[in-house]
Amino acid sequence: MRLNFSIFLLSAGLLFFNTRSINAQIKKENIKLGFTYGTGAQDKFPFNADDYTHEVDFYKIQINYRFKDKRKWAFEVNLEPSFNVVEHQLLNRFYIKPSDSDNYMELTELYMQRRTIKEYVLNLGFITRYKIYKNVSTYAIISVGPMYADKATERLAKGFAFSDIFGLGLSYEINKLQFDLRYSVRHTSNLEFQQPNGGHNTTNMEFSVLLDI
């Protein structure tokens, strides 16, 4: 786990410094750096899974670059390294069927316990922003990136996976600060690299503070 966490931090650092290194070619005032806290769960609209709980807290760094800025519309790329803490528990012991695993009883007892899972994620996204009035804007974001989870669940194997996000947000800018409130849905899965790969879906609320650099 330490090796994967080190790789995660190294990748985030290299991408950040690579962004800084091309400042001479782009407008520095269009770069924002910020922090995000968010929380989500599996049983909120539009999802309603009730065979298990899957509750997640997000701690993200945001690196945002606005590459196109028109009168009403703006377009941005967004890099989000994140550390997530997930609380997971299987509630329905019959959710895992004997045919699903050779050690069905052992896995069922394990997953029936409430467990903490740590995720290390690096999402790269694209933002389309619409300016409503002066410093107020709304936006849509879609992003995808690699993820490492340090424990398995009955729906997703331990290790490498992908994190896919779609969100809608509202921003308010004042001086060099930008405050964001975002509603998002996230799906995690591993493209059948390992089993199980049912994946997890959560509905999330996120709050961010970003600063012009």
The H or E element spanning position 123 is: strand 115-133
**Contact between 162 and 189 (Cβ < 8 Å):** yes
Question: Quick one: tokens of 187?
Answer: 């799906």
The confidence score (pLDDT) of residue 96 equals: 80
Give residue-wise pLDDT tens across range 3-42.
454 455 455 555 555 555 444 456 666 899 999 999 999 9
CA distance 65 to 109: 47
The model's pLDDT over 137-168, given as tens digits with 9 standing for 90+, comes to 999 999 999 999 999 999 999 999 999 999 99
DSSP 48-97: ---SEEEEEEEEEEEEEEEEEE-SSEEEEEEEEEEEEEEEEEE--TTSS-
Determine the 3-state secondary structure of 210 from DSSP.
Answer: strand
